[in-house]
Amino acid sequence: MTSIQTTERRKAFAFVAPALVWVLAFFVVPFAVMAAVSVSRMEGRDIVHGFFLDNYIRFFADPSLFKGLLISLEITGMVTVISVLLAYPLAWIIAMQVPARWQRLALMLAVLPFWTSYVVRSYAWLLVLGQNGVINKALMGMGLIAAPLEIASTRTASVIGFVHFFVMLLTLTIYSNLIQLSPNYARAAADLGASAFSTFRHVILPLTLPGVVTGAFLTFVLCIGDYITPQILGGNNELTLPQLIMLQLGRRGDFPMASAMSIILMAVVTLAYFACARWLKLDRV
Amino acid sequence: MGRVVSWIYLFVLYGFIFLPVAVLVLFSFQDGRLPVPPFKGPTLKWYEAVLGNGDLMAALGNSFLVALLSSGMALFLGFLAAHALSRHRLPGSVLMRGILIAPMTVSYLIIALGLLTVFNRIGLPPSLLATGIGHVIINLPLCFSILYAAMGDHQKNAERAARDLGASEAKVLWLVSAPMLVAPMLAAFFLSVTFSWDEFIIAFLLTRFDVTLPVEIWSMLRSGLSPKTNAIGSLVFLASISILIVLEFTVFRKVRK
């Protein structure tokens, strides 16, 4: 290697170094510390370091904690499936049936509420779903129900709030996939005698599957780690994993347990990643 | 027939998407104590209350400060790293790219908890500074990957020409590379600003006395439903939409070309 190359390289390292140091100091190191704390013990108010698996064992043995993981998984699974099923047709209609020059507007409108603050959006659903909310008032006004429906502070409300957010996100990702498809594929399938349905089933769907899986994975990751929506909309009957983590921090100041539960949350996300890794194209989101 | 079904579907889904926002905005004009039907009004008194509320306005200012500074930092660090990694074949560059992108794959709650643990130990109290550091972590991967993807070969040639003509590395960066990347840089910056601006959980765990807007709104929610919350929510929405429209007609149009 010539000395010019060496200086060049040294310079290049100098450019990467600040970003790298930042991420190491404020992400990698905190994560390592958190992992270390997760295997420590609380004795009174003090943290005793060591290698104890108490927190992990307690998590899986204590139904009130372990149930949080199950509830999170159930809600996230439901949200992911419903959101994909609602968003795909919407993206398809915008990409295939809305005239080309209106598509961008149609898409921007479809994701407009994205730009309200996240906290405010959950709050807005509370206004819609609450006891005196718009839906109950409307249904009672029409005489369809006698007493208000209990939607707010239930799992249903969390799911609705989540689905609202992720339908927007998925419409974006699926649309960008559909629009990249050359119309020649569909045309060729039609020329070869395929019906509209089998064209979709055997040509369009497989081609857009990577985009759908990527969007679904993002939905899974963001949904399972979210604290705000279940906290505002879900009430206190069924706590999700992030809610339980916050509970450990807030009421108990139990950092070891909160850390252990965070590591478990991350392990779940990692498993989900490997489950759909072969279809994921994260760099193309 | 298929067309009619499509339009009905479109209509229903748009209804679902817009319902909460419409309710939010409508009842911000509610002339009563509760933002629920029946609608009485309109009145602007809740907007007055919001604009006259010192805590809220302070939180708004804090949010702007944190969003602008942390996004600027993320953009700066991301630009330097993307420049170096796209121009030079460095040993371990795959690993370095992996480290820079890694925070993107972890939920904000975990990032916040990690920072809280470390800051507690080194004695950095919860503050806007702590929150800003966290926001750089969530936005750096974003800025880095946008800029890394945008640095193409024609820029490489222009940079080489400048270097051959005797420009220093700093001059190359400032006078050649950066101007060619204005559009993606603005896109990365404003995306970061929106993420930071709207981020809740890191700000919630890492601030105490000076809080950001989402945290302040959160504490307003504790006292129950109020048209005041609708008003501040509508204002935030209006601000984001305005920024978006400006961007649409300036930056993003260029990015797409």
Q: Over the stretch A26-41, which tens digit does the pLDDT of each residue have?
A: 999 999 999 999 998 8
Instruction: Tell whether A38 is covered by a domain.
Output: no
Residues in A touching B108 (Cβ below 8 Å): 225
Q: Which of B159, B171, B142, B156 is nearest to B73 (CA)?
A: B142
How close A192 comes to chain B (CA, Å)? 22
Instruction: Tell whether A33 is covered by a domain.
Output: no
CA B46, chain centre distance (Å): 26
| Chain mean pLDDT for chain A | 87
Instruction: Tell whether A169 is covered by a domain.
Output: yes
The CA angle B187-B21-B44, to the nearest 5 degrees, is 105
SS3 (DSSP) at B35: coil
Instruction: Tell whether A87 is covered by a domain.
Output: yes
Cα separation, A33 vs B114, whole angstroms:
7
Q: Of A77-81, A112-116, A209-213, B83-87, which has the strongest mean pLDDT?
A: A77-81
Q: What is the domain count for chain A?
A: 1
Instruction: Tell whether A101 is covered by a domain.
Output: yes
Q: Which of A241, A259, A270 is nearest to A32 (CA)?
A: A259
Q: Among A62-71, B195-204, B209-218, B242-251, which is the least confidently predicted range?
A: B242-251
How close A128 comes to chain B (CA, Å)? 6
In chain A, the residue whose alpha carbon lies closest to the alpha carbon of B13 is A90
Yes or no, beta carbons of A225 and B9 under 8 Å apart: no
Instruction: Tell whether A78 is covered by a domain.
Output: yes
Beta bridge partners of A41: A48
Residues in B touching A94 (Cβ below 8 Å): 10
Query: Residue A116 is part of a domain; what is its CATH number?
Result: 1.10.3720.10
Q: How would you class A191 by CB atoms within 10 Å of its CB: exposed for 0-12, middle for 13-18, buried for 19 or more?
A: exposed
User: What number is the average pLDDT over the span B201-205?
Assistant: 94
Yes or no, beta carbons of B81 and A20 under 8 Å apart: yes
Yes or no, beta carbons of A164 and B20 under 8 Å apart: yes
Q: What integer pLDDT is reported at residue A160 of this predicted model?
A: 95
Q: What integer pLDDT is reported at residue B22 of this predicted model?
A: 92
Q: Among A74-88, A95-109, B45-59, B145-159, which is the least confidently predicted range?
A: B145-159
Please count the CA atoms within 13 angstroms of the CA of A33 that sit on its side-chain side.
Answer: 22
User: What number is the average pLDDT over the span B77-90?
Assistant: 87
Find residues 218-237 of chain A whose CB sits inside 8 Å of chain B: 221-222, 224-228, 232
Q: What integer pLDDT is reported at residue B109 of this predicted model?
A: 93
How close A283 comes to chain B (CA, Å)? 8
Q: Which of B20, B13, B220 is nearest to A133 (CA)?
A: B20
Q: Token digits for B213?
A: 């807007």
Residues in A touching B133 (Cβ below 8 Å): 26
Instruction: Tell whether A96 is covered by a domain.
Output: yes
Cα separation, B31 vs B227, whole angstroms:
9
Q: Which of A230, A252, A225 is nearest to A161 (CA)?
A: A230
* pLDDT at position A4 over 70: no
Domain residues for the domain of A243 are: 65-284
Q: Among A98-102, A128-132, A153-157, B35-39, which is the least confidently predicted range?
A: B35-39
Rounded alpha-carbon distances, angstroms, from residue B80 to A14, A240, B72, B143, B255: 9, 40, 12, 11, 20
User: What number is the average pLDDT over the span A242-264?
Assistant: 90
| Alpha helices per DSSP H over chain A | 3-23, 29-38, 54-61, 63-96, 100-110, 118-129, 134-141, 155-180, 183-191, 196-199, 205-224, 228-233, 241-247, 255-275
| A117 Cβ under 8 Å from any chain B Cβ | yes
* pLDDT at position A1 over 70: no
* pLDDT at position B198 over 50: yes
Residue A205 phi/psi, 5-degree rounding, is -60, -50
What band does B257 get if pLDDT is binned at 50, 70 and 90?
very low
For chain B, list the domains and their CATH numbers.
Answer: 56-222 (1.10.3720.10)
> For an interface test with B, which of A92, A115, A228 has the most B Cβ atoms less than 10 Å from its Cβ?
A115
Find residues 9-38 of chain A whose CB sits inside 8 Å of chain B: 9, 11-16, 18-20, 22-24, 26-31, 33-34, 37
In this prediction, the answer to ipTM > 0.90 reads no
Instruction: Tell whether A16 is covered by a domain.
Output: no
Q: What integer pLDDT is reported at residue A282 of this predicted model?
A: 56
Yes or no, beta carbons of A22 and B136 under 8 Å apart: yes
